[in-house]
């Protein structure tokens, strides 16, 4: 499918594809099987300057556009969806709010290390009682002299423990609802900041998903991101961009499963001929690719809208909703085409099927995306 990618986008897509196919793919099964964080992928990304793709060169980024970054997640996720989400959580969720809302001093302190990949980032919004209802934050931050004192717990935090820098959200004024939530930058190693339960998951099993525990964590008041009370809007705007990243992850998973299925049906023989010769196989593949191309169009459109400064909240939600549901449908069909072999761990499609499911859940469930889309339609 041709989206009229620019020369730079085509060049970067080629580079990301080579990185993913030649250096990330080989570890994907092991990362999944042993539920281990893909340190090699992060190192490869660091060397290929993939950890700051859409950020200014002034801060160590690649100075490329948002679609280039989205192409990177897509290519990684074709082979290793765990590596895809490490990049997405780092770039969209942990780094973007600092680049967007940080003071010059905060950018100097944090952004350059994040863009060059010296440090990894994460985002702490979800709590045991504040998942879809993100406004129900119970973590508190109280100003005490020149420091904020933070208490509370976050759960399901991607890159937790592996990341060095965390953008987290806490209530600074419980009487003000969403306008009482503030955003903070927190560093690993700060006294009182520890990591709890490491989740065992169905898919993206190498991605670190862990609790953040804040027990009287004291941070300088200079670590407030934006102004007090801006936290909810910072979180929502960050998620608008993050959702395009997860949509790209879903897109990559779907295309990866199609690529595996096409290779398989050409060589697998039944009834004396390759199963690619049967019309059922052909029609299944046609439906899988059509949906995936439609998802790609939405994902690239959302990325382009963000890059061009057009509104993208609704488009990002549509891209994530459609790409996530497409990834589930396509990976289910891919297993069916591969039959018994597809159900085993000898082939990567069962992993892709398990990895696809989370794209319908994190950074806003499909139901949340429907709320966002219909909310914009009915405004
Ligand atoms: N951009 C800017 N501002 C926004 C906004 C957006 N996209 N969405 C809402 N706001 C603003 C509203 O304008 C409103 O502002 P005012 O106070 O000035 O009027 C304020 O925020 C409150 O808005 P709502 O009343 O619409 O908020 P709500 O409480 O009804 O929530 C929701 C709406 C869409 C359900 C939201 O809570 C939501 O997106 N929930 C899902 C949370 C989520 O995605 N969590 C994922 C966690 S992170 C993760 O998964 C990371 C990972 O592991 C990879």
Whether residue 77 has its Cβ less than 6 Å from ligand 1: no
Cα gap 217→184, rounded to integer Å? 12
Q: Which of helix, strand or coil describes residue 220?
A: strand
The CB density around residue 104, as the number of other CB atoms within 10 Å, is 8
Structure tokens at 45: 């990304």
| pLDDT greater than 80 at residue 57 | yes
pLDDT the model gives residue 3: 84
Helices (H) and strands (E) in the chain, counts: 13, 10
Which class for 4: exposed (0-12), middle (13-18), buried (19 or more C-beta within 10 A)?
exposed
The ipTM value here is: 0.97
Average pLDDT over residues 214-223: 98
The set of residues, in sequence order, having a beta carbon less than 8 Å from that of 238 and lying 6+ positions away, is 92, 93, 96, 97, 100, 123, 167
Q: Which of 133-137, 145-149, 366-370 has the lowest mean pLDDT?
A: 133-137
Whether residue 23 has its Cβ less than 6 Å from ligand 1: no
Whether residue 366 has its Cβ less than 6 Å from ligand 1: no
| Cα of 133 from ligand 1 centre, angstroms | 8
Phi and psi angles of residue 120, each rounded to the nearest 5 degrees, phi first: -110, 150
Residues tagged active-site: 363
Cα gap 374→346, rounded to integer Å? 42
* Residue bearing the CA closest to ligand 1, atom 18: 179
Mutate to test the pocket of ligand 1, among 233, 312, 363 (most ligand atoms within 8 A of CB): 233
What are the respective helix, strand and coil percentages of the chain, to the nearest 5? 60, 15, 25
Q: What is the mean pLDDT of the chain?
A: 97
Average pLDDT over residues 316-325: 98
Q: How confident is the model at residue 2 (pLDDT cuts 50, 70, 90)?
A: low
Whether residue 127 has its Cβ less than 6 Å from ligand 1: no
Q: How confident is the model at residue 143 (pLDDT cuts 50, 70, 90)?
A: very high
Average pLDDT over residues 70-97: 98
Cα gap 115→97, rounded to integer Å? 13
Cα gap 254→121, rounded to integer Å? 26
């Amino acid at each position: 499918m041709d989206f009229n990618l620019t020369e730079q986008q085509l060049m970067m897509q080629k580079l990301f594809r080579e990185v993913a196919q030649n250096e990330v793919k080989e570890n994907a099964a092991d990362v999944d099987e042993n539920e281990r964080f893909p340190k090699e992928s992060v190192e490869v990304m660091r060397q290929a300057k993939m950890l700051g793709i859409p950020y200014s060169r002034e801060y160590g980024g690649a100075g490329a556009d948002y679609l280039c970054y989205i192409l990177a997640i897509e290519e990684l996720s074709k082979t290793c969806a765990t590596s895809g989400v490490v990049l997405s959580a780092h770039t969209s969720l942990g780094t973007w709010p600092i680049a967007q809302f940080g003071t010059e001093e905060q950018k100097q302190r944090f952004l350059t290390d994040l863009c060059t990949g010296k440090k990894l980032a994460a985002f702490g919004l979800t709590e045991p009682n504040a998942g879809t209802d993100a406004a129900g934050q119970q973590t508190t931050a109280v100003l005490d002299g020149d420091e904020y004192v933070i208490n509370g717990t976050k759960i399901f935090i991607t890159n937790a423990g592996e990341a060095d820098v965390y953008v987290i959200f806490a209530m600074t004024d419980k009487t003000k609802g969403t306008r009482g939530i503030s955003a903070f930058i927190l560093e690993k190693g700060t006294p009182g900041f520890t990591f709890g339960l490491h989740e065992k998951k169905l898919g993206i099993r190498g991605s670190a998903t862990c609790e953040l525990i804040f027990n009287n964590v004291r941070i300088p008041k200079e670590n407030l991101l934006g102004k007090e009370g801006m936290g909810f809007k910072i979180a929502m705007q960050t998620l608008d961009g993050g959702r395009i990243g997860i949509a790209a992850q879903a897109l990559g998973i779907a295309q990866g499963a199609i690529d595996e299925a096409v290779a398989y049906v050409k060589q697998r023989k039944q009834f004396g001929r390759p199963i690619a010769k049967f019309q059922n196989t052909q029609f299944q593949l046609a439906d899988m690719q059509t949906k995936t191309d439609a998802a790609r169009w939405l994902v690239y459109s959302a990325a382009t809208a963000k890059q061009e400064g057009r509104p993208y909240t609704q488009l990002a939600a549509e891209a994530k909703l459609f790409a996530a549901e497409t990834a589930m449908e396509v990976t289910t069909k891919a297993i069916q085409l591969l039959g018994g072999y597809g159900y085993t761990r000898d082939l990567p499609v069962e992993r892709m099927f398990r990895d696809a499911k989370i794209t319908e859940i994190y950074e806003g469930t499909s139901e949340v995306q429907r709320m966002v889309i219909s909310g914009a339609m009915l405004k």
